[in-house]
C-alpha cells in the first residue's frame, strides 16, 4: 500500500519557524506538536516520515514572508530583494537554529539524529530513527576564509544552497519575478567557485536552488 512507503523530505523550514516563534518552549512544541510548523514529531510519527533536509535560512531583520507569498499569487510579479545580510548576523542566526535542533535531539531520547554520511543515514533508517541532514539556504554564514565552514561542518552541515536569491560574496540568485528569464546577472564569484571546491573536498552537497543561469 502507498501508505507504507517511507519518505525523505527534500526541504523544510521548521527551524526558522521555531526560531521566530514566541513560544517559551520551542523544543516541547516540536516534540509534542504545534499548529505553526509544517511538521513536528507527532506528525512525523503518523506520516511514515524517515528524515529530511532541515534548512537553516538567515532572514533580513523585519523580513515579512507573508507579504512575499501573497504577491506571488498574482499572475505576474516582481519583488525587490532584501539587502545582503552580514556574515556575523547570518552566523549568529545559524548557530541559534542549530542550538534549537540540538536541544530537540537531546530531548528526543535519541529518536532523532543528525546524519553526516550515507552509512549514518542507513543506520538511522534501519533503527527507526529520524535522520536529519543539516542544510543552509544561502551561504551568508560562511566567511571568505572558510573558518565558519569548518565549524559548521563539525556540527553536521552536509548541504549548502549557495544563495537565497539575494546576492552574497559567493554568487547571485534569481529575483522573485514572473514571468522572466533565469539569465539574470553574473553567476558564481571567485569566492563561490572556491566554496564549491571546498564542498567537493568535504563531500558537502551543493543545492542549486535560487541560482541564476550563469
40-49: per-residue pLDDT in tens? 999 998 888 9
pLDDT at 169: 97
What is the grid cell recorded at 126? 534501519
Residue 123: name the closest of 114, 193, 177, 1 by CA: 114
Residue 2: pLDDT band with limits 50, 70, 90: low
Mean pLDDT of the chain: 93
Q: Are strands 130-137 and 205-207 parallel, antiparallel or unpaired?
A: unpaired
* 3-class SS of residue 19: helix
Average pLDDT over residues 180-194: 91
Q: How confident is the model at residue 11, as a pLDDT?
A: 96
Pick from 2-6, 36-40, 43-47: least confident: 2-6
**Structure confidence at residue 22 (pLDDT):** 92
Q: Shortest CA distance to 80 belongs to which of 66, 70, 68, 62? A: 68
Q: What is the pLDDT at residue 3?
A: 66
**pTM of the model as a whole:** 0.92
What mean pLDDT do residues 23-36 have?
A: 95
- Residues above pLDDT 90, as percent of the chain: 75
pLDDT at 105: 97
Is the per-residue pLDDT at 8 higher than 60?
Answer: yes
61 vs 75: CA distance, rounded Å: 28
Share of the chain above pLDDT 70, in %: 99
pLDDT at 67 over 80: no
Q: What is the pLDDT of residues 84-143, one digit of tens each?
A: 999 999 999 999 999 999 999 999 998 999 999 999 999 999 999 999 999 999 999 999
Q: What is the pLDDT of residues 142-161, one digit of tens each?
A: 999 999 999 999 999 999 99
Amino acid at each position: 500500500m502507498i501508505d507504507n512507503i517511507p519518505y525523505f523530505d527534500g526541504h523544510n523550514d521548521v527551524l526558522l519557524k521555531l526560531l521566530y516563534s514566541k513560544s517559551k518552549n520551542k523544543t516541547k512544541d516540536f516534540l509534542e506538536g504545534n499548529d505553526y510548523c509544517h511538521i513536528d514529531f507527532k506528525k512525523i510519527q503518523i506520516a511514515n516520515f524517515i528524515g529530511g533536509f532541515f534548512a537553516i535560512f538567515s532572514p533580513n531583520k523585519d523580513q515579512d514572508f507573508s507579504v512575499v507569498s501573497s504577491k506571488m499569487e498574482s499572475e505576474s510579479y516582481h519583488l525587490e530583494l532584501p539587502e545582503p545580510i552580514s556574515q556575523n548576523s547570518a552566523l549568529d542566526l545559524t548557530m541559534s537554529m542549530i542550538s534549537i535542533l540540538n536541544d530537540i535531539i537531546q530531548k528526543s531520547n535519541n529518536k532523532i539524529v543528525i546524519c553526516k554520511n550515507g552509512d549514518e543515514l542507513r543506520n538511522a533508517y534501519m533503527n527507526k530513527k529520524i535522520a536529519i541532514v543539516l542544510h543552509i539556504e544561502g551561504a551568508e554564514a560562511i566567511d571568505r576564509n572558510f573558518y565558519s565552514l569548518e565549524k559548521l561542518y563539525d556540527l553536521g552541515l552536509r548541504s549548502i544552497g549557495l544563495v537565497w536569491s539575494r546576492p552574497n560574496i559567493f554568487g547571485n540568485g534569481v529575483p522573485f519575478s514572473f514571468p522572466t528569464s533565469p539569465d539574470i546577472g553574473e553567476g558564481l564569484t571567485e569566492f563561490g567557485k572556491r566554496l564549491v571546491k571546498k564542498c567537493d573536498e568535504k563531500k558537502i552537497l551543493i543545492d542549486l536552488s535560487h541560482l541564476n543561469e550563469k
